[in-house]
Amino acid sequence: MNRRELTAMAAATALSGLAGTGGARAAAPLRVLILGGTGFIGPHFVAVLTARGHRVTVFNRGKDPSKVPSGVVQLIGDRNGQLDSLKGHDWDVVIDNSGYTLRQARLSTQLLKGHVHQYIYISSISAYADLAVPGVTEDYHLAQVADPNTEVISGGTYGGLKALSEQVVESTFGHAATVLRPTYIAGPGDTTDRFTYWPVRVARGGVMLAPGSAQDPIQFIDVRDLADFVCRCAEQRLSGRFNVCDPPRAVTMGSLLEACRRVTGATVRIEWANLSFLKAHKLIGADAPEGNPFPIWNPPEGEDAGDALVSPARAVAQGLRFRPLDQTIRDTLAWQQQRPAAQQTLRAGLSAQREAQLLKLLQAS
């Protein structure tokens, strides 16, 4: 990073949560199409855009009409070929947060070319070939996939297909293309439970198992900060590629758990399991039967050494801002507590039984 980027990042961190796009209405309302709009991140995009006075249309399969607010137009269709409802319309900007395959990218870009002025594609840092080095920027080499036309979305194909989809968007829209690569997305509405696991587990109290060390960095982006930046990209016609995540080392496992303890008021004692223990019990690495059971954390070595050290300097220089960690934790917990009973068992992290087993092994080692 150069001095200007470092200064911008420091200022953004200091002004966390104070300089988003929310608040006053935009001077010139935009016609915005969202491909998706009713999943996890889509409703947050709709919320900030409508709050700014933009006219929003969502295109999806219509499975959850309750998530479409009054005043938002809904067009029914499917990314896999049923796009007729999009024909005959024009928009200022399209936000694609539901494109996962090469075919989907080709269909939507071909149909919308000449009918939108800007195409914002929500990609992922998984689009990078690897994250073995710290400080990965938007110009780092991209992932590949053996069969570009595969429709199977898996850990082995997801990143390569995102990279291919980016290339379709950029080749079709040129300087009117915006590619956003978020890391883990956190906050209210995240049914993957990856971030949610940590505040929920701390709130339960008692002796708790945590991976690695308190100094290990983690990276994520609050979904509302992502939504604010998407809105900024649309309003200011920002083009190009942007990593969207908090600054490297702004949050560590230790600071996350301490913030969770501060917000919840829980009495918890953290037992840190070092890498040797985690490897010995096949909790990380290629031998882990079910993958990493510690969400949003990766070992700070090997092929994932730079996983939590991606550079968001380019986005920060263009106005990406970050709300306080305590706010993300507090709002995520409030949302979690309102979920149905069936969703109180989280999809990520250790079960209480498995954690108790590992704590006994750790204490005996």
Q: What is the pLDDT of residues 37-66, one digit of tens each?
A: 999 999 999 999 999 999 999 999 998 888
- The encoded tokens of residue 333 equal 């917990």
- The encoded tokens of residue 299 equal 């070992």
Return the number of other C-beta atoms located less than 10 Å from residue 347's C-beta: 12
Sign of the dihedral through C-alpha 73, 76, 77, 83: negative
The residue ranges of DSSP E strands in the chain, in sequence order, are 31-35, 55-60, 73-76, 91-96, 116-122, 177-182, 184-186, 206-211, 217-218, 220-222, 240-244, 251-252, 268-273
Are 357 and 269 in contact by the 8 Å Cβ rule? The answer is no
Whether the predicted pLDDT of 167 surpasses 90 = yes
pTM: 0.92
For residue 56, the 8-state DSSP code is E
pLDDT band (50, 70, 90) for residue 4: very low
- The encoded tokens of residue 40 equal 């996890």
3-class secondary structure, 208: strand
Supply the DSSP string of 286-347, one letter for each residue: TT-TT--SSTT---SSGGGTTTT----HHHHHTT-----HHHHHHHHHHHHHTS-GGGSS-S
Q: How many helices (H) and strands (E) does the chain have?
A: 11, 13
Phi, psi of 35 (to 5 degrees): -85, 95
How high is the pLDDT of residue 288? 78
Q: What is the pLDDT of residues 114-152, one digit of tens each?
A: 999 999 999 999 999 999 999 999 999 999 999 999 999
Report the CATH fold assignment for 3-187+219-249+306-325: Rossmann fold (3.40.50)
pLDDT band (50, 70, 90) for residue 25: confident
pLDDT band (50, 70, 90) for residue 23: low
For residue 224, the 8-state DSSP code is H
Domain range annotation of the chain = 3-187+219-249+306-325
Place of tokens 């920027």: 137
pLDDT band (50, 70, 90) for residue 365: confident
Mean of the per-residue pLDDT values of the chain: 92
CA distance 280 to 21: 47
3-class secondary structure, 58: strand
| Residue of 3 and 335 predicted with greater confidence | 335
